[in-house]
Amino acid sequence: MSRREFITLLGGAAAWPLAARAQQAERMRRVGVLMNIAEDDAQAQSRMEAFLHGLQPLGWTVGRNLQIDVRWAAADAGLFRKYATELVALEPEVIFASTNSAVAPLQQATRTLPIVFTITVDPVGAGFVASLARPGGNTTGFLLYEYSISGKWLELLKQIAQGDASGGASGPRNGSGDRPVRSNPGRGPAFWGRTQPGRRA
């Protein structure tokens, strides 16, 4: 994901719940952030810089009317659970969650505080939202990719292979592995070839 895309996604996502209250008397608002990478990761500071940069044009500045509490889970399941509990206890206006690993413990910790996710795979299949059009509950956000176009991906690969129609599909062991197939009901088993689950996401 490019820096420009990250700015657009994070800035816009975090602003949704905040903008709804913008006409109230200005006071310090609190945003929780649960990241999937380590704070010293090469991308970490760049992503946070992009996040803050995206908020500024919308009128939100850290120290003036915004406080951001960031937790870096570094892909550690135990830290995701710990930090999710910590962030919910702070009662922020909204919590931003990066990846499925962050969303799941946050939903276990709260069903009332708004959660906005990104870099997330199959939020419907994972049970995070009821549907993409009407997510329901307290969670919404952005997909990593749209499964309905996955048939076109394989079609293009077959064209690149110049007539070699053999192929296969593999997906994570998290309930979404067959999502590309289910999202393309017009394409039969012969199109997809052999399918099998991959590593657990």
Domain shared by 48 and 64, yes or no: yes
Domain shared by 115 and 160, yes or no: no
Residue where a domain stops, chosen among 97, 112, 143: 143
Domain shared by 160 and 100, yes or no: no
Q: Which two tokens stand for residue 61?
A: 């500045």
Domain shared by 77 and 170, yes or no: no
pLDDT in tens, 75-113: 999 999 999 999 999 999 999 999 999 999 999 999 999
SS3 154: helix
Domain shared by 30 and 47, yes or no: yes
Domain shared by 162 and 133, yes or no: no
pLDDT in tens, 124-163: 888 999 988 899 999 999 887 766 666 676 777 777 776 5
pLDDT in tens, 47-65: 889 999 999 999 999 999 9
Domain shared by 7 and 49, yes or no: yes
* CATH assignment at residue 33: 3.40.50.2300
Residue where a domain stops, chosen among 143, 164, 184: 143
Rounded distance between C-alpha atoms, residue 23 and residue 4, angstroms? 29
Domain shared by 137 and 158, yes or no: no
What residue numbers bound the domain in which 18 lies? Answer: 3-143
Structural domains counted in the chain: 2
pTM (two decimals): 0.69
Domain shared by 47 and 18, yes or no: yes
Domain shared by 97 and 160, yes or no: no
Domain shared by 109 and 73, yes or no: yes
Which alpha helices (DSSP H) does the chain contain, by range?
3-19, 44-55, 77-89, 100-109, 150-160, 179-182, 189-192
